[in-house]
Structure 1
């Protein structure tokens, strides 16, 4: 399985960064418009619609259509979520979607007065028929560069 990683420092308290990333509004704010994100439904671990916090077991049904291309549908499931005074971690996995496998680990750690953010994506590209999927073509670097820059912009004030 291939791996992509990106790390950045945000001059904002861990608590603020963690809370921001724990809500669907955070995902929407950090996804570039050119990715064509459309959230179809969000369910909590017990099936409740639109939970305030994305706990382990929450599901997000979405469509992504980068650069105006036809969208790929997928469901992202929060499979793990833990936090302490010094760090936080949540993991989401793609269930149905354009990749053969996708596991995204979001890590947050207190660094002085700020927070270090690390995104790690473990993925397998789809079979040759799906290799032309817009998500497979666009790549990770532009999207994650945007996400980290936008996180700094929104949370550093």
Structure 2
């Protein structure tokens, strides 16, 4: 299993960043490069505890679907989304929102994932996914930052 963290400074208060981070439309905009769509569950608006969404996208030229659930939600400081069905053996994404002391937010993502397929999945984790997934999170976080800062 792999784990990585990403921290993003955002010039907006934690509550606004928290709310923007749960917006389906912001996620879709951030993943436009992979043609991501929300096809089941909550397909628009702000997600909340217990909500599920099924995402459909294309990565590495292959179509995939993942259903995730908001498994923990403590506004405005923390929420977790986890895969309940999809391409990973495990996917857990924790989101933390902390005041930066200047009216802004330090948004921290902690992602744990494991690929399926035993030894082949382990090779994919180490050679491809450990670079690709942090890149996707950075793209997403840039969209969250832009949206939260524009909402002033």
Tell me the equivalent position of 2:21: 21
What TM-score do you get using the length of structure 1 for normalisation? 0.79
1:111 is aligned to 2:95: no
Question: 1:118 aligns to what SS in structure 2?
Answer: strand
Q: Distance in 2 between matches of 1:88 and 1:63?
A: 28
1:1-157 counterparts in 2 under 5 A?
A: 1-31=1-31, 33-43=32-42, 52-66=45-59, 69-83=61-75, 87-112=76-101, 113-127=103-117, 131=121, 136=129, 139-157=132-150
Uncovered stretches (5+) of structure 1, i.e. residues with no partner: 44-49
* 1:103-123 Cα distance to aligned partner (Å, 9 max, x none): 010111111200110111111
The CA RMSD over aligned residues, in Å, is: 2.5
Shift of 1:65: 0.7
How many residue pairs are counted as aligned between the two chains? 145
Uncovered stretches (5+) of structure 2, i.e. residues with no partner: none
What TM-score do you get using the length of structure 2 for normalisation? 0.82
Which has the larger helix fraction? 2
Shift of 1:51: 7.0
Question: 1:121 aligns to what SS in structure 2?
Answer: strand
